[in-house]
Structure 1
Amino acid sequence: MGDHIELNRRYIPVLPYQTRMKRKGAGVRTWLVVSKLGRVSVEELGKQAVMHRTGITARDLRVVEPDLSYPYAVLRRERAVVVHLEHVKAIVTADEVLVPNPRDPRIASFVYDLEFRLSDFGATTTSDKAMEQLPTDTPLEARGSRREAPTNESKMGNSKPLPFEFRAFEICMEFVCKSLESETSTLEEEAYPTLDRLSAKISTNNLKHVRIIKGRLVALTGRVQKVRNEFEHILDDDMDMAQMYLTDKLATLQSEGLVLEDEIDGDADAFLLDDDIDENMSNKSSTVFASDLKPNVEELEMLVGAYLVEIGGILNKLSTLKEYVHNTEDYINIVLDDKQNQLLRMGLIIATASFIITLGSVGMDSLNMNIGISLFDSGTYSQFYQVFGGCVVSSVFLYIVAILVLKLLGVLG
């Protein structure tokens, strides 16, 4: 039947697809949305809504899935930049930033920075637009009063404000660098005293603690190296950097008539006129930015380069700590080798003493045999004591000679 399934001669109604998906909540997650105008909201969005809103594919969306373990990546797409670095997972467009699972305590500081700094950026942008609409005869004091909103200065030291997508990407990179720097400092504070204690006293607890620290050091170094590789990968290709100029792309497409002006600052779902325009936008924007933006990527290059230097400093700290660990291991191996040599020398001395004692025992046993010897015909034991004393003295003399020979040969050091 059309709307029923036959099971054990009973008919069970089949719910519509949308109703089943709504009941299950499949693909619907909580997203923090920070718009270019400073609006901050928490929305429940499904995968299809996010893909339609940002222009990314389902494969790109898996990069920011909280439940999936995906390698670090910064994906440059036509309408968005997908960021996955450490705990930071975000989708950055020219108009807004979408962050999945914003209530995760690991990214609390990152969410706060996005809400505060991007909202501040939106207020500043609105103030700048209002300044442009003022008459030219407006007093300078009135113009200056409208610029009281604080602005975020980038690491480049440039007075020109960065585009919205670069501001958001800078917050992502800054949070990642701060997080890695904090973990590195914590590891250093814990590692150096532990290594010093191990150098002073070799014990099982100290060795176990150092083994744990070494494992954390290797894991943290790998994570920092992955972040550094992503930054270097961005800087390697000017075309990839050109693809990250989303605001300029949007302005160019607006001038080409592919995007409506009143839709740019409005609903993000109405970004494109239709699907055909989406294809034309991809073809035209790729051609335009291949020729226009390639020479003008210094802004992004300086921004990413600044954080690349910071990541390099963190990696140098970890390399220094790693070298200190290796030096401590070498010192411990030297100490253990010295103790092993001492044990070997002690074993050799004991083996030599055992050999001399065995020789003396053989001599004494020969005197205990029931064989008539004229030496004992006097009927006294004075001769026996003389022989016994001679054997003992001979054993001691042989032992001393053996030790001196071993020292001369360099065996005992």
Structure 2
Amino acid sequence: MVVNLEFIRAIITAEEVLLLDPLRQEVLPFVEQLRQLLLHKSSSNHGSNQLIAQDHGMQSPTAGKWLPVPDAADGLQAELPFEFQVLEIALEVVCTYLDSSVAELERDAYPVLDELARNVSTKNLERVRSLKSNLTRLLAQVQRVRDEIEHLLDDDEDMAQLYLTRKWIQNQQSEALMGAMASNGIVPTAPHLRRLSSARSGSLVSNYLNDNDVEDLEMLLEAYFMQLDGTRNKILSVREYIDDTEDYVNIQLDNQRNELIQLQLTLTIASFAIAVETMMAGWFGMNIPCSLYNIHGIFELTVGIMTAVCVSLFVLVLGYARWKKLLGS
């Protein structure tokens, strides 16, 4: 069995585990739990001495004698065989790592997004950009592991192929059965399974060696599939909050742009009114003889009239712009 779960890359057999890069920081929890599992398995093997009997319907020189069961058959007494115990540890470590990463992402995301909503600045935008990069990376990791588990759950044949201990026991039993029959000159008509010394153990072996029985692995994968699905929902919730914050910021920026446009339009109207007054002042500033120049106090009156006309023009154009809803009320 080849396991490639993010940072955990290993080859698992019915008896051993080959781990790539075991000194990596993220892999150390997996190594520690795996060491505890192997120590527990070693102590269990040392303290137990399981025996197996030959089939009653088969006569051989060893009939009636007790034979030791191979070490790999110890998985019969455990809830899961060795390879699934290792797989469970790997899934647990990966899911724990992803959960902690998502929790850290949530802890950092909400304050950053709230700060961006209050103050749109280059620094806050850069922090949100980094946050979105981490979110995309985490979502891809969770989705990748989740898809692999879902693919296994959809195919019972693939799950059956992962029962390495069951295959190993079946091969050992087939070899022992063929060897015993060959020594007695018996041609087997159908394969038989050896029974354990007790009826209860024999029932366990029959159920365990059923090629179509993948319930244990299915329950294991479904549990971690649900956990990964919950982690994925947390990430999607954070991404939705980011999208809502970005929409809010865009609305704020649009509102500010509208205010700037309105200010620019107001200044343009004022510039137009002042330009009209400047034009009239230029007319009267020409060096052309005029009888109005001889009237006492005509300067103040002319300036007042020109200013009043320009102010009236400004108010008139501004009112027209408001009537056309070019300016806010």
Q: TM-score range by the shorter chain?
A: 0.7 to 0.9
Partner residue of 2:150 out of 227, 232, 239: 232
Partner residue of 2:309 out of 376, 394, 403: 394
Greater Rg over alpha carbons, structure: 2
Cα offset for 1:395?
Answer: 0.7
Mapped to 2, the partners of 1:221 and 1:178 lie a distance apart of: 15
Cα offset for 1:126?
Answer: 4.5
Over 3 Å counting, the alpha-carbon distance change for 1:259 and 1:83 in structure 2 is: farther
Aligned match of 1:344 = 261
Cα offset for 1:294?
Answer: 5.1
Partner residue of 1:248 out of 143, 166, 184: 166
> 1:362 is paired with a residue of what secondary structure?
helix
Partner residue of 1:208 out of 114, 126, 136: 126
Specify the code of the residue in structure 2 equivalent to 1:197: E
Q: What are the Cα deviations for residues 42-69 of structure 1, in whole angstroms up to 9, with x where unaligned?
A: xxxxxxxxxxxxxxxxxxxxxxxxxxxx
Mapped to 2, the partners of 1:347 and 1:259 lie a distance apart of: 96
Count of aligned pairs between the two proteins: 275
Cα offset for 1:110?
Answer: 0.8
Q: How does 1:166-315 map to 2 (within 5 A)?
A: 166-257=84-175, 293=210, 295-315=212-232
Mapped to 2, the partners of 1:183 and 1:259 lie a distance apart of: 52
Give the CA RMSD over aligned residues.
2.1
Aligned match of 1:317 = 234
For normalisation by structure 1, the TM-score amounts to 0.63
Aligned match of 2:322 = 407
Q: What are the Cα deviations for residues 74-115 of structure 1, in whole angstroms up to 9, with x where unaligned?
A: xxxxxxx01011110111111111212322222111100100
Partner residue of 1:121 out of 41, 46, 49: 41
Over 3 Å counting, the alpha-carbon distance change for 1:103 and 1:181 in structure 2 is: same
Over 3 Å counting, the alpha-carbon distance change for 1:239 and 1:123 in structure 2 is: same
Q: What are the Cα deviations for residues 206-234 of structure 1, in whole angstroms up to 9, with x where unaligned?
A: 11111111111111111111111111111
Tell me, which stretches of 5 or more residues in structure 1 are unaligned? 1-80, 134-158, 262-291
> 2:250 is paired with a residue of what secondary structure?
helix
Specify the code of the residue in structure 1 equivalent to 2:137: A
Over 3 Å counting, the alpha-carbon distance change for 1:294 and 1:326 in structure 2 is: farther
Q: What are the Cα deviations for residues 349-389 of structure 1, in whole angstroms up to 9, with x where unaligned?
A: 001100110011111111111222222234x3x11221111
Aligned match of 1:330 = 247
Mapped to 1, the partners of 2:178 and 2:266 lie a distance apart of: 95
Q: What are the Cα deviations for residues 172-220 of structure 1, in whole angstroms up to 9, with x where unaligned?
A: 1111101111111111111111111111111111111111111111111
**Equivalent pair of 1:114/1:171 in contact (CA under 8 Å):** yes
Cα offset for 1:120?
Answer: 1.6
Structure 1 position 102 matched with structure 2 position 18:
no
**Equivalent pair of 1:184/1:318 in contact (CA under 8 Å):** yes
Superposed structure 1 runs of 4+ greater than 4 Å apart: 258-261
Tell me which protein shows more helix as a share of its residues. Answer: 2
Mapped to 2, the partners of 1:259 and 1:92 lie a distance apart of: 27
Over 3 Å counting, the alpha-carbon distance change for 1:352 and 1:206 in structure 2 is: same
> 1:106 is paired with a residue of what secondary structure?
coil
Cα offset for 1:321?
Answer: 0.3
Mapped to 2, the partners of 1:253 and 1:294 lie a distance apart of: 13
Mapped to 2, the partners of 1:321 and 1:349 lie a distance apart of: 42
Q: Identify which of structures 1 and 2 has the higher relative contact order when contacts are C-alpha pairs closer than 8 Å and 6+ apart.
A: 2
Over 3 Å counting, the alpha-carbon distance change for 1:172 and 1:207 in structure 2 is: same
**Equivalent pair of 2:159/2:217 in contact (CA under 8 Å):** yes
Mapped to 1, the partners of 2:46 and 2:221 lie a distance apart of: 27
Specify the code of the residue in structure 1 equivalent to 2:136: V
**Equivalent pair of 1:242/1:293 in contact (CA under 8 Å):** no
**Equivalent pair of 2:10/2:20 in contact (CA under 8 Å):** yes
Specify the code of the residue in structure 2 equivalent to 1:121: K
Specify the code of the residue in structure 2 equivalent to 1:335: Q
Cα offset for 1:300?
Answer: 0.5
Aligned match of 2:63 = none
Stretch of structure 1 that moved more, 168-177 or 368-377? 368-377
> 1:386 is paired with a residue of what secondary structure?
helix
Specify the code of the residue in structure 1 equivalent to 2:123: N
Cα offset for 1:303?
Answer: 0.4
**Equivalent pair of 1:360/1:395 in contact (CA under 8 Å):** yes
Structure 1 position 374 matched with structure 2 position 294:
no
Stretch of structure 1 that moved more, 111-120 or 342-351? 111-120
Cα offset for 1:118?
Answer: 3.3
Aligned match of 2:67 = none
Specify the code of the residue in structure 2 equivalent to 1:401: L
Stretch of structure 1 that moved more, 200-209 or 369-378? 369-378
> 2:27 is paired with a residue of what secondary structure?
helix
**Equivalent pair of 1:194/1:210 in contact (CA under 8 Å):** yes
